[in-house]
């Protein structure tokens, strides 16, 4: 799906995309939706870390890595 379609179908959600393609200027052009959720933690609890995956929010919300979030990621990747 192209990025605009993803944003329209999943407004204000965290996306885990695979098989992404970028525009010439580096912006996301398209990708295949692997999973999505309103909660980034719920999304990562369900999917874990996916090799080659892109974690992005459809409303361009930045990912805030707090100590609690960082430790959760460590558990997911076995660090």
Residue by residue, what is the 3-state secondary structure of the chain? Answer: CEHHHHHHHCCCCEEEEEEEEECCCCCEEEEEEEEEECCHHHHHHHHCCCCCCEEEECCCCCCCCCHHHHHHHHHHHCC
pLDDT in tens, 19-77: 999 999 988 999 999 999 999 889 988 998 888 899 999 998 867 666 666 666 655 55
Better-scored residue on pLDDT, 8 or 48: 8
Whether the model clears a pTM of 0.85, i.e. scores above it, the answer is no
């Amino acid at each position: 799906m192209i990025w605009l379609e993803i944003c329209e179908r999943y407004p204000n959600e965290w996306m885990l995309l695979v098989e992404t393609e970028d525009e010439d200027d580096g912006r996301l052009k398209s990708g295949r939706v692997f999973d999505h959720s309103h909660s980034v933690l719920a999304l990562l609890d369900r999917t874990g870390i996916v090799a080659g995956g892109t974690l992005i929010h459809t409303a361009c919300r930045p990912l805030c890595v707090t100590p609690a979030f960082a430790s959760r990621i460590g558990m997911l990747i076995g660090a």
